Structure 1
Amino acid sequence: MYKILGKALAVGILSTLASLAISFAFVPLMGGQVAGAGLVMTIVCPIAISIPVSILHFYQADRLRAANAALASAKDQLAEAYARLKHQAQRDALTGVLNRATFLAELEARSRNGHSGGLLFLDLDHFKSVNDRFGHAAGDEALRLVGALLGKLAEKDDLIGRLGGEEFAVFLDAASPDHMLGHSQTIREAVEAIDLRAPSGMRIALGISIGVFHCAPRFDPAEALAASDRNLYRAKSMGRNTVVA
């Protein structure tokens, strides 16, 4: 408030000086004199008018600036909240990777945009026995660790999703067939090396079967998933914890 009063007083002084300058410049030209009541009015009128009006003006201007700042802050907070909600809506709550719907939508977008790459269909081996023997908490931790591992091994433009249960999918953007197979083996070995422990301290051995399919530009996502799923089934039938392309 003191800042507003200071500004208003400055305006009042400037207005008074301007009034005096105008009066002394033009009144003598019209044959009059700036004296007595005329001089008093020349000083009093600008002060009486400018200071109250300036106080009101500066007060309203400060309120408007504060309102604009609050609006900008609220807009930023809303944008951040929307971004968080969008991120949460696209992610699997347990593993942090894309959920099924988002992964499939992103895979469709890559196809429309002419991308090629490797599509990996992954399934944790004997996952039901992990839940049955060690509890669902151990099963959830296994899924979380696998999701984190897939994210750590991924390149910037790769897609990682949880399709449901213990099934994951990875799209290696622009990957060659050799890179696709090498990356799949890296995943398999890394999952096998996960140090997951039961509450008793016993190590829970994990394995993963991977079906792989190389996608040419403008690939059909449904056909690519079906092909990688067939290769996953072959990996399961060949004894699990293996990669089939």
Structure 2
Amino acid sequence: MPEMKLASLELSPSGLPAWFDLATGASILQYGQRLAARELLVNTLGNIVVRTHCPYWKREVMYTKHLGLSLEESGLEHLAVLDMQSDELLHGRCRPSLGHQMHREIMRCRHDIHATVHLHPDDVIAFFSVMQWRQMRYVSNDTALVMGKPPCILGEGVNVELDVSAIGRCADDTNCIVMPGHGITSFGRDLSEAYHRAVAFVAEIRRLIICQHLSAATGKSIAFASEEEVQHMYELGEQVIYGSTHT
């Protein structure tokens, strides 16, 4: 760690350290409210983590909310900043929840990832607890475009918030980790991408649940996208969703 400089003790008019990135903090609060508006926050354990370079500390840091409250309750005063390399708390009243190590390990494994979103959506937990899928199937023609890679659906009882060892085995091959009975963690090159992957995945699960009901009511089978179509959508996602503007 660098020597403690006088500037690090100086506070901005908001009461935050002078080096605190207000834009990053505000983006976490903004997307937290968007998730709340979609009713995707159900307790204090959902979280957002954003990785950015801090000129003052001359290293990468992670912005996130501390434990004990929901994203929808959070203000700038509830955000913590941690050193990416050492995990030292650089700013904040207290540390984030234990699940923070999952976010950090994803970013350690994926240098292209700068944001993660962790949620406990009712629909996702209910769907996987009943269907017990280990491979994702789609009914829409757009979700795989947004996801970019197949979701990693973990086995029952595997909790990468408590044991991050499984992340290294799947992080390169996915942009969304599904823990049946627990929730999802989506990741992206920025917070917008991580957010869109989270809400797109939840929307697809809701479509699948509706399809199950309609299939049972009508006796008609569900028309799933073929494996070839899904793989093609994964491959086309960058071009279709972002064109040549996303870096």
TM-score, with normalisation over the residues of structure 1?
0.26
Greater helix content: 1
Normalised to the residue count of structure 2, the TM-score between the two structures is 0.26
